[in-house]
């Protein structure tokens, strides 16, 4: 798998266990599973929906403008800690704009 052997995977697993702890690992796995499920749902929606939609239809469905925005919203909602990291990133961008 990607050129990684069993010893490397064990080391990675131990590092993840030490960083996040036993209580957080199931939450992270659950969040990642939910995000993957949403990616599949978005993919199915894109494939099944017509390529050109009217703006009114998008507003009715509350559909994101791009695939990336839809994926971003789903990841933020399902993976623990991502929302906080995104908020911090936005604050850093604002501070950088003020400094310039």
* Residue ranges with strand state E in 18-96: none
Q: Convert the pLDDT of each residue in 18-70 to its tens digit.
A: 888 888 888 888 888 888 888 888 888 877 766 555 555 545 455 556 777 77
Rounded Cα–Cα distance for residues 86 and 13 (Å)? 25
- Residue 28: is it exposed, middle or buried by C-beta count within 10 angstroms (0-12/13-18/19+)? middle
Query: Residue 87 above 60 pLDDT?
Result: yes
Q: Which of these, 27, 47, 36, lies nearest to 75 by C-alpha position? A: 36
Tokens read off for 85:
């990291």
Taking the mean position of all CA atoms in its chain, how far away is CA 37? 11
pLDDT at 69: 79
Decide if pLDDT at 90 tops 80: yes
Domain ranges of the chain: 6-99
Most confident of 9-18, 54-63, 73-82: 9-18
């Amino acid at each position: 798998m990607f050129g990684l052997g069993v010893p490397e995977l064990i080391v990675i697993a131990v590092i993840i266990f030490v960083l996040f702890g036993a209580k957080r690992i199931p939450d992270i796995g659950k969040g990642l599973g939910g995000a993957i499920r949403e990616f599949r749902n978005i993919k199915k929606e894109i494939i099944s929906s017509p390529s050109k939609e009217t703006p009114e239809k998008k507003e009715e469905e509350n559909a994101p403008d791009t695939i990336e925005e839809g994926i971003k919203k789903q990841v933020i909602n399902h993976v623990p800690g991502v929302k906080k990291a995104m908020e911090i990133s936005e604050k850093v961008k604002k501070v950088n704009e003020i400094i310039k």
